[in-house]
């Protein structure tokens, strides 16, 4: 099965360069030069991955990310997103992760590196498909192979990274995991994100699976160490 990568990038040269590398690596590609077109293609063509430039005319990358993740009824809400950013500030990266991006690459970047990151993301998703199992905790049900999570029978939309962190916590129930361990277990050693991104995922997960996210009963913070699924 050929995977399709949607590249949303207004700088034509960069877009073509990225497209060429992905096609040489065996992917199909779609190109959009602005946020509005990109969002439309994401919603109508259901790509397997979105490469999203942060600085776009009109609708910018953060708007597009928010709109994709906010489309609760659509399959596309769960599509992996890698952000391209020229901004090096940590806060900008964390905003991207907060909005549901799964990874980011800082410009200038090598397209080879970008393709490697995409492959790493797909490897993680494939790993779940190969290990069919369900994990249950009360009314929380995780069907790992189907990448499906429900709470009290209602489906939850988790991004690939939120899902990976939840599965890592559940597989190590009762054990305290440091941020570094969680990144290693959930995202793999080739993930280059910040350790603080773990805090973002935990916050997002709590909003989705805790009755009172401010007083979490499932995912506990162990001060100075990390997190534990109780």
Comparison of 86 and 116: residue with beta carbon closer to Ca ion: 86
Comparison of 95 and 151: residue with beta carbon closer to Ca ion: 95
SS (H, E, C) 72-84: CCCHHHHCCEEEE
Q: Does 55 help bind Ca ion (rule: CB under 5 A)?
A: yes
- Site track for Ca ion across 68-107, x = CB under 5 A: ----------------------------------------
Rounded CA separation 218/230 (Å): 5
Please give the backbone phi and psi of residue 58, each rounded to the nearest 5 degrees, phi first.
75, -115
In the complex, the smallest distance separating the C-beta of residue 80 from Ca ion, rounded to whole angstroms, is 20
Footprint on residues 15-34 left by Ca ion (CB under 5 A) = none
Comparison of 64 and 76: residue with beta carbon closer to Ca ion: 64
Give how far Cα 55 sits from Cα of 9, 11, 33, 63, 102, Å.
8, 10, 11, 10, 17
> In the bound complex, which residue of the shown chain has the CB atom lying closest to Ca ion?
55
- According to CB under 5 A, which one of 3, 4, 10, 141 is a site residue for Ca ion? 10
Half-sphere exposure of 123 (CA within 13 A, CB side): 12
In the complex, the smallest distance separating the C-beta of residue 9 from Ca ion, rounded to whole angstroms, is 6
Rounded CA separation 164/188 (Å): 10
In the complex, the smallest distance separating the C-beta of residue 204 from Ca ion, rounded to whole angstroms, is 26
Query: Residues near 115 by Cβ (< 8 Å), separated by ≥ 6?
Result: 21, 22, 25
In the complex, the smallest distance separating the C-beta of residue 21 from Ca ion, rounded to whole angstroms, is 18
Exposed/middle/buried for residue 211 (C-beta within 10 Å: 0-12, 13-18, 19+): exposed
CB atoms within 10 A of CB 165: 27
Comparison of 62 and 186: residue with beta carbon closer to Ca ion: 62
Rounded CA separation 33/104 (Å): 19
- According to CB under 5 A, which one of 53, 61, 161, 177 is a site residue for Ca ion? 53
Comparison of 11 and 210: residue with beta carbon closer to Ca ion: 11
Comparison of 52 and 166: residue with beta carbon closer to Ca ion: 52
Binding site for Ca ion (CB under 5 A): 10, 53, 55
């Amino acid at each position: 099965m050929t995977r399709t990568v949607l590249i949303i990038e207004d700088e034509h040269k960069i877009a073509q360069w990225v497209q060429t590398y992905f096609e040489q690596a065996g992917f199909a590609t779609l190109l959009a030069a602005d946020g509005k077109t990109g969002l439309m293609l994401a919603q109508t063509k259901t790509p397997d991955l979105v490469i999203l430039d942060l600085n776009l005319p009109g609708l910018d990358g953060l708007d597009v990310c928010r709109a994709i993740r906010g489309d609760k009824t659509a399959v596309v809400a769960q599509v992996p997103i890698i952000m391209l950013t020229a901004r090096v500030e940590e806060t900008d990266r964390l905003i991207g992760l907060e909005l549901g991006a799964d990874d980011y690459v800082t410009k200038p970047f090598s397209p080879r590196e970008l393709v490697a990151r995409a492959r790493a993301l797909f490897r993680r998703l494939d790993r779940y498909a190969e290990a069919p199992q369900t994990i249950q905790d009360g009314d929380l049900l995780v069907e790992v192979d189907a990448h499906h999570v429900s709470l009290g029978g209602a489906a939850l939309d988790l991004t690939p990274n939120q899902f990976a962190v939840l599965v890592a916590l559940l597989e190590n129930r009762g054990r305290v995991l440091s941020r570094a361990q969680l990144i290693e277990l959930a995202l793999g050693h080739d993930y280059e994100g910040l350790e603080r991104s773990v805090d973002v995922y935990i916050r997002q997960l709590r909003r989705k699976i805790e009755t009172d996210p401010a007083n979490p009963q499932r995912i506990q913070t162990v001060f100075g160490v990390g997190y534990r699924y109780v």
